[in-house]
Amino acid sequence: MAPPLSRRSLLQTAALAVAAPAVSLAPTARAAAAVAEAPAATAAPAAWTVQPFALDQVTLGQGVFADKRKLMLDHARGYDVNRLLQVFRANAGLPTADAVAPGGWEGLDGEANGNLRGHYTGHFITMLAQAWAGTGEQVFADRLRTMVGALTEVREALRKDPVVLSTAGRFGTAAENVRGSYQYVDLPSGVLGGTSAVTLSAWVKPTHDGNWARVFDFGDNTTRYMYLAARNADGVPRFAITTSGPGAEQGLNGTAALPLNQWSHLAVTIAGGTGILHVNGTEVARNTAMTLTPAALGTPVNNWLGRSNYAADPVFAGAYDEFNIWSRALTAAEITELQSGRATDSSAGRGDLAAYAFDETSGGTFADASGRNLTATLRRTWGGPSHAGFLAAYPETQFIDLESRTSSDYTKVWAPYYTAHKILRGVLDAYLATDDARALDLASGMCGWMYSRLSKLPESTRQRMWGLFSSGEFGGIVEAVCDLHAITGKAEHLALAQLFDLDRLIDSCAANTDILDGLHANQHIPIFTGYLRLYDATGERRYLDAARNFWDMVVPHRMYGIGGTSTGEFWKARDVIAGTISATTAETCCAYNMLKLSRTLFFHDQAPKYMDYYERALYNQVLGSKQDKADAEKPLVTYFIGLTPGHVRDYTPKQGTTCCEGTGMESATKYQDSVYFRKADGSALYVNLYSPSTLTWAEKGLTVTQTTNYPREQGTTLTLSGGSAAFELKLRVPSWATAGFRVTVNGRAVSGTPTPGGYVTVSRTWRGGDVVRIAVPFRLRVEKALDDPSLQTLFYGPVNLVGRNSATGYLELGLYRNAGLSGDLLPSLTPVTGKPLHYTLNGTEFAPFFEGTEDPTHAYFRRAEPGVVFGNTDSGVANPARSDGTTLLDEIWAGAPFGGKSALLARVRSTVDAWVTAGLLGAADGRTVVRTAERATFAA
């Protein structure tokens, strides 16, 4: 009997054959309950006629994939995970260990103020899970447990009222507001006491230079208020009071910015029509025309330290030590005295209206020492989550705003359910990789929270939400929720997955109506992988039909040669390729998600086109998106791969931590996920990719080792070891493999003629020691842009070759000059000695796209065959063309391969005769062309 699959083995089988976990860490009560609800063993979907192997069942051998993965594994080992956790801990008001959040999209200062923060952490957790499954290195499991533990603490903190974060103060302890926590101190009503003379004094240590963050703000709204801002629009402190809105403010402005991360003392006095602002004991502003006092405000409703009555203003980030309010104006001497000690030890004494020392080290309240017992309370601006399962690195407000939003504004709401998906996927992968029940509890809790929100919304609201560009993007959340449902069996989880139906998209694609023009590409690609999983769970046919038809709308109709799609993140009209090439083509996330969709479609329908595409995108865009360089701080993955002439790849896009860097981390740790598949009944083994690797097929008691340097080697060898088993070995014949595909088993040729774009099947009882050798000869070929046949890209076997040239216009190249009888264009290029897959042509070096360099590259070139040349013999005759651009040489070489020179000459003569008859070529020139071909010498 085959040994049971480990939890790590289940990671790549989409959570579809799950046994109750053997918990290695003490679970919480909720975690234990979630585990108890899981069915003992759920089978793979009946619709999956083919299933993948887990990452820990396929080991990468040495080669281009292992080299790229090593760079990413080094990054995964070394990057400080506390930096990724910083935004989560800050949101929950927890200590952040002084960690600095990653830049770009993952911090509060990046694009759109970090409204996507948390997404990158989810990607990183998935990378760690895949790294652990693929390598077995304990460091990755340890890091996973650290991150899951931290997120568990974050969720617990979010469930409760905020708790004081104590820090070293000016005189003792102080209360810290971590930036991103949205916490402030709420003082009781009546704190100002209706006084007509006042002194307000505070020690503050700002940690961020955001303008208009309030030290305090007392008021009812944006009409009646009194505030002190640490920085105004000019970056200096400002005090203001008004009963008639901002246009009527009576104010005091400082003269210099408060230093960050240092204690500063601020004091404001008002009495007798004069207001004075002191900074660190020095008067910096005086207004002798101040007619307003706190008495004019009455009894303000909002009495806040750190929060503004203007909702758009930032919350004060930093620490508070003493805050005092006196019902008189302190003298300059008294204010100076406050610089050297606590108020209680000064001649002024504690404030008689309010006095907070912030000496508390626990709890969520602050004692008032004024004698008025005005206990203050620590609060969040957004209150707290609507459900105990909420887990995010920002408040729930983005989700709430989306429900009423009718237009997209990513500076306000930036794909909150997309971010939720990345976190959910990460913790789910962590559970599958490590059996950590806390991770399952986090995943189940998140889905419970999402269901509690979405199930209450009218269907029309959800349809509007999911149709919004960017704001309504939800990524692959449906797939993740379906995977969780396969573990828990909870009806609520399946119901949640269906709440993400985007009916207009599903119904149009199911009817094979192409509506992709103008849509945001990566917002929609992962949706269909999720809908396939919904088909698995529900049997609803429209999900499957929609996914199949959608794929066909992208491949090849919106696909560049490298397998990528989209320009500037969006799709244009069908079959427009040349017309969409730009510096922002081929968003890397799109390729990642098209690979996921292709493999999932293959599980339902073993159409070779899916694995042909998989090879194309994997060996070109995905490999080429990772720079061949080590970096401790960055994964070095492209966002876009521009296909314009002379484009230089940017491996540190948008300040880092983009969606594509996240998926890039995942891609680089699962290169082996589709090398082998098995039939659901175990009757066949599919070899989809020729990649150095070892498969442990425990159910058969066999190990299959694939030895190759593919694609630098034009073939591969499979060696079996272990016991014996009868099954069909299915070897993929790439659609480009037109130069012959040969298979031998133990030295004997397998009969039959392999069909490019199919599978060769070898059926026998396999035994340890069997050796299968596969020869896959490469040819150099071109692929033409659908809308401009003269714009072409060059392939050698599966490898896209790009010119390295700094020119910013399309290179003009001719390739027929020395074409071989086989139709191979390679003889027209010159190999570079010592550099496999490198060639030169017309002074330009051509190299594999997958090499992650910073050379200026030309993925597309302009085909130029001005004269009729055979075997480097020039006829002197111009190469004529039809109205559609097809040239005489195109038509001649379309007959390749040729069995010999005589067959080629016959093709030349018949084609020339047809062109002369059609009036496209003069008779004399035709005879010259034929004579030239007769004299020429051709490569095989």
pLDDT at 656: 86
pLDDT at 7: 43
Any idea what the Cα angle at residue 175 is, between residues 279 and 150, rounded to 5°?
135
- The crossing angle, in degrees rounded to 10, of helices 437-454 and 416-434 is 150
Interval 233-259: pLDDT, tens: 999 999 999 999 999 999 999 999 999
d(CA 586, CA 570): 10
Residue entry with tokens 């990772």: 626
pLDDT at 45: 82
d(CA 218, CA 221): 9
DSSP structural state of residue 106: G
**Token pair for 188:** 């009781």
Domain annotation for the chain: domains and CATH numbers? 7-153+388-667 (1.50.10.20), 185-380 (2.60.120.200), 676-710+715-775 (2.60.40), 868-940 (no CATH)
**Identity of the residue numbered 397:** T
Q: Which residues of 361-396 are buried (b: 16+ CB within 10 A; e: fewer)?
A: eeebebbbbbebebebebbbbeeebeebbbbbbbbb
d(CA 235, CA 245): 21
pLDDT at 15: 46
Count of CB atoms situated within 10 Å of the CB of 496? 26
pLDDT at 597: 98
Count of CB atoms situated within 10 Å of the CB of 406? 7
pLDDT at 43: 58
Residue entry with tokens 């971010």: 419
d(CA 562, CA 559): 8
The segments of the chain whose pLDDT lies below 50 read 1-8, 10-42
Which residues of 734-854 form beta strands (DSSP E)? 742-745, 748-749, 758-767, 771-775, 780-785, 788-796, 799-804, 812-813, 830-831, 839-841, 844-848
Nearest partner of 98 among 120, 111, 80, judged by Cα: 80
8 Å CB contact between 860 and 646: no
Interval 863-907: pLDDT, tens: 999 999 999 999 999 999 999 889 999 999 999 999 999 999 999
First and final C-alpha spacing in the chain = 53
Chain centroid to CA 309: 36
8 Å CB contact between 283 and 264: no
pTM over 0.85: yes
pLDDT at 17: 39
pLDDT at 46: 83
d(CA 450, CA 395): 14
**Token pair for 241:** 């009071």
d(CA 669, CA 475): 20
Interval 43-101: pLDDT, tens: 578 889 999 999 999 999 999 999 999 999 999 999 999 999 999 999 999 999 899 99
| Residue 271, beta-bridge partner list | 274
